[in-house]
Amino acid sequence: MIIYGVAILAFSYLTGQLCGEYLGEFLGVKANVGGVGFAMIILLLCKEWLQKKGWLDGEFEKGVDFWNKMYIPVIIAMSASQNVKVAVSSGFLAVLVGVVPVVAAFFTLPYLIKLSQK
Amino acid sequence: MEIFENFIDKNGLIVGFLVIGVLAFLSEIFSKKVLKGYLPGSAIAILAGLILAYFGGIITNAEKGLSDLPYLKGVGTFGGSMFRDFTIVATAMGASYLTMKKAGWLGLVSLLFGIVFFFVFGVALAYIWGIRDAASLCTVGAGSCTYIVGPVTGAALGASSDVIALSIAIGVLKAILVTILTPLLAKRVGLNNPAAAMAFGGLMGTNSGVSAGLAATDPALVPYGAVTATFYTGLGCLLCPSLFYLVLGWIL
């Protein structure tokens, strides 16, 4: 059933986010720290466990996959509800930070690839 | 008219689905017909979203872009933190421990190197620019990782909405640039085999940029790049607002 996939995703999300809340409290950051990351790890562990048990079926994966594919639309909606007007006033910084590291990374890539071929 | 207003108000999120669906569709058409697939539809839709948010901000003089307009509140719900985080977690399903093992050390090394590389570069440039508070610096650095790590970090650290928007703009710019530059530079940087694609995915990390860029270079390389890139955003979300933020605080 599709709802099982969604439920496992919800379980991972809630558990991970809660861990993030407590870690934030523990670190004194007053915010959720890495909740999304923990949730991802929990989801991967759940998936591995279900696979071993042989309980992972196509329907189950569809439940998670739907939300996986909704991620670009959510990002579109998120960008449509940001305070872009204010960000534009610091426009050059955005271009600077957006462009310079990417170009630098492309020139670093050959060295990383060399490392991989050793 | 009042019935209509109440109706839209009650069904805000559904209206959001429709609006974003139409926006994504128009962007896809624009991508195929006008730009001949030079930029992926998703990148254009995100850009269009930012542009619409800009006009929304001008019209309403408020902080939440398009979603401050009457009838469009649902767009804000759809793009809010709950759906955002929920869908990001779902993307982890695309990776498995087995493939991760196959990607091995190179994937892990390039992944960590890539996150640190972009974060440090972003923070350094923002610092030179004159930004001094740790939360904003961290958010800008996270934004140069991906357009998701930026807002997640910013939200976690309580950065202001304009810094979060800036971090998204940076991340989107990165995704677009990676999309454009990958097919152009692939040969020159030796991006022509699975191992190289894994290193590439880990280094660049921006999921849409990497998968779109590799698709334009050699579709066979896409899964290898995506395998490492999939972890980039999650690891970034884990490291930026926690470890990196603490280290940044010590340095400042």
Query: Could you read off the pLDDT of A65-97 as tens digits, one per residue?
Result: 898 888 778 878 887 887 667 556 557 888 888
Verify whether the Cβ–Cβ distance B125 to A93 is below 8 Å. yes
What string of DSSP letters covers A101-118? HHHHHHHHHHHHHHHHH-
Q: Does A115 touch chain B (CB under 8 A)?
A: yes
B16 has a pLDDT exceeding 90: yes
Tokens representing B167 are 């971090």
Q: Averaged over B50-66, what is the pLDDT?
A: 85
The helix-helix angle for B194-204 and B97-129 (nearest 10°) equals: 40
pLDDT band at residue B101 under the 50/70/90 scheme = low
Please give the Cα distance from A48 to A56 (Å, whole number).
9
Q: Does A102 touch chain B (CB under 8 A)?
A: yes
Residue of B nearest to A116 (CA): B106
Determine the pLDDT at residue A87. Answer: 56
A118 has a pLDDT exceeding 60: no
A4 has a pLDDT exceeding 80: yes
User: Which residue type is seen at B92?
Assistant: A
A chain contacts of residue B42, beta-carbon cutoff 8 Å: 72, 76
Residue of B nearest to A46 (CA): B93
Compute CA distances B141 → A14, B124, B128, B157, B180, whole Å: 27, 8, 13, 13, 22
Tokens representing B247 are 């280290």
Measured between CA atoms, how close is B3 to chain A, in angstroms? Answer: 26
Q: Averaged over B69-97, what is the pLDDT?
A: 81
Per-chain mean pLDDT for chain A: 81
Determine the pLDDT at residue B22. Answer: 96
CA nearest neighbour of B129 among B163, B155, B84: B163
CA nearest neighbour of B72 among B16, B4, B5: B16
Tokens representing A57 are 């079926």
CB B89 within 8 A of CB A39: yes
Determine the pLDDT at residue B64. Answer: 81
CB B231 within 8 A of CB B206: no
Residues 18-77 of chain A whose Cβ lies under 8 A from any Cβ of chain B: 20, 23-24, 27, 29-41, 43-44, 47-48, 61, 64-68, 70-77
pLDDT band at residue B99 under the 50/70/90 scheme = low
Determine the pLDDT at residue A88. Answer: 62
Choose the mutation target among A60, A81, A90, A96 for the interface with B, i.e. most B CBs under 10 Å: A81
Determine the pLDDT at residue B29. Answer: 93
